Amino acid sequence: MKRYTKPQVVGSSNVH
Amino acid sequence: MNLQRNPEIVWRIEKRREADVLAAMERGEDVSEHGTVILIANGMMHQLNFVGGRIWALCDGSRSDEELFALLSGEFQVEAAELAADLTEFINDLTNREWLRRG
């Protein structure tokens, strides 16, 4: 069993 | 209706990064903010943490929400109520972003 963390979007950045 | 990824989104699992995160996870480190899956949508690059990436990868249209829940509860150490709440919140977030849809 793996440790659990809350699923989330952790980062966003502009591609350009 | 099963969840499926928006086919317009380019994504991949960052294998080396994922291995590093899994190793850190085993050491008990906090990896909740570490991205292991990257996706590109509308000119933006986004990252999902390990659990988020697992859910994302499983959303291929072949699994019901119940199957997703069962797979995740078998893979991670988490109380059912916590997982159910987090899964619902995550799915709603990604559906609102139009990254996931019901197909």
Cβ-based contacts under 8 A for chains A and B: 77
Model confidence at B5, pLDDT cuts 50, 70, 90, reads very high
Using an 8 Å CB-CB cutoff, list chain B residues near A14. 43-45
CA angle, residues A4, B12, B100, in degrees to nearest 5 = 75
The domain tally of chain B equals: 1
| Residue B80, token pair as written in the block | 């059912």
Quick: pLDDT tens for B48-75: 999 999 899 999 999 999 899 999 999 9
Contact A6 B77 (CB under 8 A): no
| CATH code of the domain containing B44 | 1.10.10
Q: Residue A15: exposed, middle, or buried by beta-carbon count in 10 A (0-12, 13-18, 19+)?
A: exposed
Range of the domain at B43: 3-102
Mutate to test the interface with A, among B9, B32, B98, B99 (most CBs of A within 10 A): B32
Q: Which residue in chain A has the smallest CA separation from B28?
A: A3
Q: What is the DSSP letter of B98?
A: T
Model confidence at A16, pLDDT cuts 50, 70, 90, reads low
Q: Which residue has the tokens 């928006």?
A: B6
